[in-house]
């Protein structure tokens, strides 16, 4: 079956989720722009270079501020300031790979002067080509990811993840009777007693599967059928979150898809469902790009 993974090899800008306000085009700088804009380019190490047109401020800076999560009490947010240097007729700021950003969404602001009011930046050109094949490179712990993207209201922001270890889902093949998942572990190694754990969200119920491993301590795959996730006594839709436990004494590691240029996968990668014995099973990516399975 032709899965979304097969259709999207070599992700391009036109695959960005439209729900995040990305139209697939990049606005140009110009004197008529009512709000400041910034180009950005990211390299394979996660280093991001911001480029802004010249301005009158003597000591401009960029401010990156972590956005509070919905439904949680707002506290003093994480924030990071970057100096803007003048070069080649433009202003440049560099966000280095280290330290890693706290996991979440970071809004980008311009601080024209030391005491001036900060202004959110609009996106210019976003060069994300270095991220397209990011899943092909093995990562060490901690696994840190950052992706520039456009928010729903049209501003520039960064999506960041920081995890001790991460299992990157590659192919998800949906057949008539089963779901086959191929993944690769980053930041840890698989032991002989590694297991895949499917946890029923909001409960302590866990289904355990034995993965097929590649022998290099990183690659693995597993198969899930409707029979493994039914008969739990639930009448409404149930969500099963997918983890791999590298060894019997290790902490479970979330399976998801973070290592490319798609900041929000949920509405971009949509998979068909499997129906058997009165139940329907459908894989999907959550708002955090983690893999889950919905059973109805």
- Nearest-angstrom CA–CA distance, 94 and 89: 16
- Nearest-angstrom CA–CA distance, 102 and 77: 10
* Omega cis (within 30) before 99: yes
Reported as a single tens digit per residue, the pLDDT across 5-14 is 433 333 333 3
Give the strand pairing for 122-127 and 37-42.
parallel
- Nearest-angstrom CA–CA distance, 282 and 269: 12
Q: Average pLDDT for residues 265-290, to the nearest whole number?
A: 92
pTM over 0.75: yes
pLDDT of residue 235: 56
Residue 188, number of CB atoms within 10 A of its CB: 23
CATH number for the domain whose boundaries are 166-295: 2.60.40
Average pLDDT, the chain: 85
What are the boundaries of each domain within the chain? 4-163, 166-295
Counting residues of the chain whose pLDDT is more than 90, the rounded percentage is: 68
3-state secondary structure (DSSP) of residue 63: strand
pLDDT of residue 30: 40
- Check pLDDT > 60 for residue 1: no
- Nearest-angstrom CA–CA distance, 188 and 167: 9
Residue 282, number of CB atoms within 10 A of its CB: 18
pLDDT of residue 29: 42
- Poorest-confidence range of 79-83, 110-114, 128-132, 282-286? 110-114
């Amino acid at each position: 079956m032709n899965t979304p993974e097969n259709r999207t090899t070599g992700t391009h800008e036109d695959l960005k989720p439209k729900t995040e306000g990305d139209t697939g085009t990049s606005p140009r700088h110009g004197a008529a722009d009512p709000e400041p804009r910034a180009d950005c380019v990211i390299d394979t190490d996660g280093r991001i270079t911001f480029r802004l047109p010249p301005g009158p401020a003597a000591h401009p800076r960029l401010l990156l501020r972590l956005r509070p999560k919905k439904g949680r009490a707002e506290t003093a947010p994480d924030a990071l300031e970057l100096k803007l240097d003048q070069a080649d007729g433009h202003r440049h700021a560099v966000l280095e790979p280290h330290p890693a950003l706290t996991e979440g969404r970071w809004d980008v602001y311009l601080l024209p002067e030391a005491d001036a009011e900060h202004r959110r930046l609009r996106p210019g050109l976003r060069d994300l080509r270095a991220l397209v094949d990011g899943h092909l490179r093995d990562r060490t712990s901690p696994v840190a990811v950052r992706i520039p993207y456009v928010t729903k209201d049209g501003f520039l922001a960064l999506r960041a993840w920081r995890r001790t270890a991460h299992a990157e889902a590659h192919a998800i093949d949906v057949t008539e009777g089963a779901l086959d998942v191929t993944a690769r572990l980053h930041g840890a190694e698989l032991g002989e007693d590694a297991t895949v754990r499917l946890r029923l969200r909001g409960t302590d119920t866990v289904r355990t599967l034995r993965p097929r491993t590649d022998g290099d301590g990183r690659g693995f795959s597993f198969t899930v059928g409707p029979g493994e996730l039914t008969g739990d006594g639930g009448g409404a839709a149930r969500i099963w979150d997918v983890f791999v436990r590298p060894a019997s004494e290790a902490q479970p590691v979330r399976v998801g898809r973070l290592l490319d240029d798609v900041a929000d996968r949920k509405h971009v990668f949509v998979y068909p469902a499997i129906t058997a014995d009165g139940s329907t099973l459908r894989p999907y990516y959550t708002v955090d790009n983690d893999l889950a399975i919905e059973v109805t």
